[in-house]
């Protein structure tokens, strides 16, 4: 299995449980790894033989900057579902990490994040 990675994409969205999060918004980061077969693309040097990471970036941007969710778990699930649907037959699985760098939690920490793995790895 080969992988395409989009790491540390940065967006602004309105996800959260607290009213302040849905009104003021905040930064979000996301990383996505796609399980794919890109041997043919490596041999042909043809974009048609791989998954365009521009399209995957656009999916992440649309979801994170779009409709607000209460939970970043739902954001990650929406991204994974959309990638697997839009690239059916090309992407066998994906790992999605959504990071909330500045959640409204009192205390000292770097960030909070969820990571999910979805897909059809055994096809």
Residue 123 lies in a domain: no
Beta bridge partners of 121: none
- Whole-model pTM over 0.85: yes
> Which residue range forms the structural domain that includes residue 56?
2-103
> What pLDDT was estimated at residue 123?
47
Query: What whole-number distance in Å separates Cα of residue 59 and Cα of residue 48?
Result: 19
How do residues 9-42 score in pLDDT, each as one tens digit?
A: 999 999 999 999 999 999 999 999 999 999 999 9
Say which of 40, 61, 100, 110 is annotated catalytic. 100
- Count of domains observed in the chain: 1
How do residues 35-53 score in pLDDT, each as one tens digit?
A: 999 999 999 999 999 999 9
Told to judge if 100 belongs to the known catalytic residues of this protein, a careful annotator would answer yes
Residue 78 lies in a domain: yes
Residue 114 lies in a domain: no
Query: What whole-number distance in Å separates Cα of residue 23 and Cα of residue 14?
Result: 7
């Amino acid at each position: 299995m080969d992988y395409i990675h989009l790491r540390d994409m940065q967006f602004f969205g309105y996800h959260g449980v607290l009213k302040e999060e849905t009104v003021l918004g905040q930064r979000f980061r996301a990383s996505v790894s796609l399980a794919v077969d890109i041997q043919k693309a490596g041999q042909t040097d043809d974009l048609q033989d791989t998954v365009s990471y521009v399209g995957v970036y656009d999916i992440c941007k649309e979801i994170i900057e779009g409709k607000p969710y209460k939970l970043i778990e739902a954001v990650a699930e929406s991204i994974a579902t959309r990638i697997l649907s839009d690239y059916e037959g090309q992407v066998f699985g994906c790992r999605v990490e959504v990071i909330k760098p500045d959640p409204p939690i009192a205390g000292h920490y770097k960030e909070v994040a969820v990571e999910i793995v979805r897909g059809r790895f055994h096809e």
